[in-house]
Amino acid sequence: MGARGSLTLFRDVFEPETAELQVSKSGRSAELHSKRNECLVDRYYFYGKYTEKRYMAILSALREEFFLSSEITLPRLISDNYGHLAELKALQPPVAYFKKKWPHLVWQ
């Protein structure tokens, strides 16, 4: 279903009298990918620093949390964002840092 069909479905259910809304261009958002990757690296650091999980358990948890299926995707994303991981290692933020930054996630 394209964006137009999705918009019609929403309008028919929730806003049957609204005017035509502009549909944004399709495609992947670099900004959203960057934010996802930052969150993923934060979770990776958190699991490694503040839990008893080992490497494979961390990757398994991240694959489930971020809906990634490839065995290679996570190590590649972490490697591609190594600068952020190095910043976390140097900063050594407390758990409260992650709770404030990503309040919708459970940090226990």
Q: Evaluate if residue 21 carries a pLDDT over 60.
A: no
Q: What is the pLDDT of residues 39-98, one digit of tens each?
A: 999 999 999 999 999 999 999 999 999 999 887 899 999 999 999 999 999 999 999 999
The dihedral of CA 7, 10, 16, 19: what is its sign?
A: negative
Give the pair of three-digit tokens for residue 81. Answer: 């964002």
pLDDT at position 36, please? 95
d(CA 19, CA 91): 49
The pTM is what? Answer: 0.75
On whether the CB atoms of residues 50 and 105 are closer than 8 A, the answer is no
DSSP-derived secondary structure for 66-100: TT---TTHHHHHHHHTHHHHHHHHHH---HHHHHH
